[in-house]
Amino acid sequence: MTLELRQTDRPYLPRGVRVQRDEVRDRTVLMAPEKVIELDQIGMAILSRVDGSARFSEIVQDLAATYNAPADRIETDVQRFLQTLRSRVYLMVRE
């Protein structure tokens, strides 16, 4: 299995994985079983669009439009970020 997301893949967070605000530490984190990963603004921007219905290509286009950035550069960064999460099973995809 390749970790690369195709344009039509619909990424989602599997059961037990969620984005949550840590009010005590004033930060946003990705919570997974026995893991807490602090998210920066880029990670939050990407994961805020990961809902299981948006295609990878739609997430990239939305980020490119929101941040007025080249879609090819955004795609590379989003692909790398989501592949890392997918390799740790913090992210799954639907076709």
CA-wise closest residue to 13 among 43, 57, 58, 40: 43
What is the C-alpha separation between 6 and 8, in angstroms, rounded? Answer: 5
Looking at residue 3, its amino acid is: L
Full DSSP string of 53-84: SS-HHHHHHHHHHHHT--HHHHHHHHHHHHHH
SS3 for 36?
Answer: strand
pLDDT in tens, the chain (95 residues): 689 999 999 999 999 999 999 898 899 999 999 899 999 999 999 999 999 999 999 999 999 999 999 999 999 999 999 999 999 999 999 98
pTM of the model: 0.93
